[in-house]
Amino acid sequence: MFNPVFKRSVILFIALVSFIVCTAQIKTIDQRVDSVLKLMTLEEKAGQMNQYNGPWAATGPLTNDNNLLSQIKDGKVGSMLNVTGVARTKELQQLAMQSRLKIPLLFGQDVIHGYRTIFPIPLGEAASWDIPAMEQSARIAATEAAAVGVHWTFAPMVDIARDPRWGRVMEGAGEDPYLGSLIATARVKGFQGKGFGNTDGLMACAKHFAAYGAAVGGRDYNSVDMSLRQLHEVYLPPFKAAAEAGAATFMNSFNDLNGIPATGNKYLQRDILKGEWKFKGFVVSDWGSVGEMINHGFSKDNYEAAMQAVNAGSDMDMESRSYIKHLAALVKEGKVKMNVIDDAVRRILKKKFEMGLFDDPYKYSNEEREKAQWNNAEHIKVARDISRKSIVLLKNEKQLLPLSKQTKKIALIGPFAKAKADNNGFWSYDWPDDTARISSLWEGVQRKLSAASEIVYAKGCNINDSSTAGFTEAVAVAKEADIVIISVGEARDMSGEAKSRSNIHLPGVQEKLIKAVMNAGKPVVVLISAGRPLIFNWTADNAPAILYTWWLGTEAGNAIADVLFGDYNPSGKLPMTFPRTEGQIPIYYNHYNTGRPAKNDSDLHYVSAFTDLPNSPKFPFGYGLSYTKFDYSNIRLSKAQFKPGEKIEAMVTVHNNGNYDGEEVVQLYIRDITGSVVRPVKELKGFQKITLKKGETKEVRFTISVNDLRFYNDKLQYIYEPGQFKLFIGGSSNDVKEVNFQLTK
Ligand code: NOJ
């Protein structure tokens, strides 16, 4: 319609105007930040760097303080955590509006896997390998929390974890840096939505910086000692991804890293995060972690701790009260430079401006929006969908699953069969009305069956005690039924912060219950709800069908029932390796080969192996079955050699060779055969979640460039090296087809 030159000029003009408007906007915020900063006393600056827990809830050790609220009026508090609901956020914001400069408070909260609508725990969601779905669940969590006045979530947790004894594995994306980075990006985008200042988004916080997941022995808060190469290669990538995705904030961690507590660690916070990665947001400490540097033996007292933390780049002090007590004196005594304080305050004020709080401090606290979040049908629908995508089918002998909806009598047995709150898992808040609307397994199964079917129930035992008193009833109930479903697992507080366990077998007498019930001779389906990979070898070897259901949240029962009765064909794949015993831990698929690798599980002759158990895990990373069967064939490359600057394509044919339509996560791994530093036996470098109808065949293609071959050398340079590589494609890290290629100079 228009002539192309005119059209191009219009586009250019619009681009120029938007650029000018954007630049003006950035300038305005920076100028506004500076104009506020100029008015501030040193004490008020320290106030902005101080965060207190709200007086109503706590997620860490409490400090008794009755003058907390009056400190807000005095401009001594910049942020609060655990302040929940429109009424409370407004109440405290009103106090801040009585302070001399009326700088609004930022409200932060652990919105980890949902707020009112609870989604699967992050590790469970990671098993879906469905990146857009994870972004959407974070989006909904943010919408719900932002409506009640929360501005900032302490999520995503992007710590890589190779040790299931560590209770916080439930909160992350598992063991793999590549998958972890994609998920970190999705969650940051989901939480932050269309950008700061929209009332349906939160500021994200990538935590815990850094290497918290590598605590020695899996014991929470423990020390971490690792090579910088491993830090960069395995533990930092998801953080870098979060920074690149625009995460507003970072939280440092409780652990020391190679002898320096993360909170006082300049290398992490100044050199890497704010230096190399050019991170422009602010860093908050973890709860009390500034003061805890005294216990670490790194700081003499709180005065020194405040000095070390702020100089190292920790901008805000969560609940240590070290900054508010000592920063002003530290500056006056020349121990901390004024520009260090100004930089921290600028970063914090900038976020408050970007969130629009200087224009309207009550912007996010809205009764109407708050009401709309309760029992929001759309959110619940999304929760059900991602919950069923998170379930992993570990075993399905003789196609026992899916069950027929015409089954006459089903026995539901086990402490999770009627459980409600335990489905939510750790890091979910107890809202008075919300527990009732969690769908239990019992309810989910009932909704699938017609009046012609009957469900019988016996609890059998509790989650974690030694009583077998309920076994007789459970066995009797099993005997009457055509199919038995046993639902067991961990109680909601058995994995999470400060929930490390040295024994990660199915707790209590639950596995004994499974044995007793299986003796009744009926077909048995076992469901395991937990926050971490558990050990259940007898069940794994003897039960015909097993579904790993994590803690799925509000829609747990409905989602499990969808899978049990075939309304959804399971597609989840494990984001963490499941060990055979605790003695194998740490266990992860991307390990080095060693100089004496075992050829197989029975090879014990002076090789790197245990003499009393195989090297292989019980269930490997990337593993998960479907009701249908996917055959992989014809793996091939567009060429067998390529040069830097070029690309090659890897292709595989996947055929749905079973009786159901289904989804499959096609995984691509690479091994660098020889390097200037040793390389893992396999590293995930790509995956695609595809849908194949029954009988359908698809060709799946991946493009490889030198960027997929990079690694950190001994000088910490991120390089690639010419040489031989193996490329693997398959449906699990241990079930792949392979082909070789070469990178030439
Ligand atoms: C301590 C936890 O380590 C951290 O993840 C959490 O955000 C804070 N407490 C606040 O609850």
Largest pairwise CA distance in the chain = 85
Kindly state whether residues 399 and 546 are assigned to the same domain: yes
Kindly state whether residues 572 and 671 are assigned to the same domain: no
SS (H, E, C) 406-440: CCCEEEEECCCCCCCHHHCCCCCCCCCCCHHHCCC
Distance 499 CA to ligand 1 centre (A): 13
83, 107, 154, 168: which to mutate for ligand 1, most atoms within 8 A of CB? 154
Distance 300 CA to ligand 1 centre (A): 24
Kindly state whether residues 410 and 555 are assigned to the same domain: yes
> Cα–Cα distance between 344 and 364 in angstroms, integer?
24
Residue 286 is a catalytic residue: yes
With respect to residue 600, please indicate whether it lies within any of the assigned structural domains.
no
Kindly state whether residues 676 and 572 are assigned to the same domain: no
Distance 285 CA to ligand 1 centre (A): 9
With respect to residue 5, please indicate whether it lies within any of the assigned structural domains.
no
> In degrees rounded to 5, what are phi and psi of residue 743?
-100, 120
The total of structural domains in the chain comes to 2
Q: Is 249 helix (H, G, I), strand (E, B) or coil?
A: strand
Region for residue 211 given its phi and psi (left: phi exceeds 0; alpha: psi -120 to 50; beta: otherwise): left
The whole-number pLDDT of residue 21 equals: 52
110, 285, 317, 429: which to mutate for ligand 1, most atoms within 8 A of CB? 110
Within the chain, which residues score under 50 in pLDDT? 1
- What CATH number corresponds to the domain at position 724? 2.60.40.10
The whole-number pLDDT of residue 691 equals: 98
The whole-number pLDDT of residue 1 equals: 44
With respect to residue 709, please indicate whether it lies within any of the assigned structural domains.
yes
Kindly state whether residues 563 and 634 are assigned to the same domain: no
Distance 434 CA to ligand 1 centre (A): 23
Model pLDDT for residues 247-305, shown as the tens digit of each residue: 999 999 999 999 999 999 999 999 999 999 999 999 999 999 999 999 999 999 999 99
Kindly state whether residues 663 and 555 are assigned to the same domain: no
Residue nearest to atom 11 of ligand 1 (CA): 59
**Which residue is it, tokens 């300038």?**
27
Kindly state whether residues 454 and 553 are assigned to the same domain: yes
With respect to residue 651, please indicate whether it lies within any of the assigned structural domains.
yes
Ligand 1 atom with the shortest distance to the CA of 212: 3
With respect to residue 512, please indicate whether it lies within any of the assigned structural domains.
yes
Judge if the beta carbon of residue 354 lies within 6 A of ligand 1: no
Chosen domain end from 584, 611, 638: 584
Ligand 1 atom with the shortest distance to the CA of 154: 7
Kindly state whether residues 571 and 643 are assigned to the same domain: no
Distance 319 CA to ligand 1 centre (A): 11
Chosen domain end from 584, 617, 644: 584
Residue nearest to atom 9 of ligand 1 (CA): 287
Ligand 1 atom with the shortest distance to the CA of 110: 7
106, 287, 316, 318: which to mutate for ligand 1, most atoms within 8 A of CB? 287
Judge if the beta carbon of residue 60 lies within 6 A of ligand 1: yes
Chosen domain end from 584, 599, 620: 584
Ligand 1 atom with the shortest distance to the CA of 60: 9
User: Using an 8 Å Cβ cutoff, are 483 and 525 in contact?
Assistant: yes
Q: In terms of residue numbers, what domain contains 387?
A: 380-584
The whole-number pLDDT of residue 243 equals: 98
Kindly state whether residues 736 and 648 are assigned to the same domain: yes
- What CATH number corresponds to the domain at position 439? 3.40.50.1700
> Cα–Cα distance between 602 and 612 in angstroms, integer?
10
The whole-number pLDDT of residue 68 equals: 83
Residue tagged active-site, from 256, 286, 317, 708 = 286
Kindly state whether residues 512 and 393 are assigned to the same domain: yes
Amino acid at residue number 531: G
Judge if the beta carbon of residue 286 lies within 6 A of ligand 1: yes
Kindly state whether residues 577 and 655 are assigned to the same domain: no
Distance 292 CA to ligand 1 centre (A): 14
Beta bridge partner(s), residue 702: 650
Kindly state whether residues 552 and 413 are assigned to the same domain: yes
- Rounded to two decimals, the pTM is 0.96
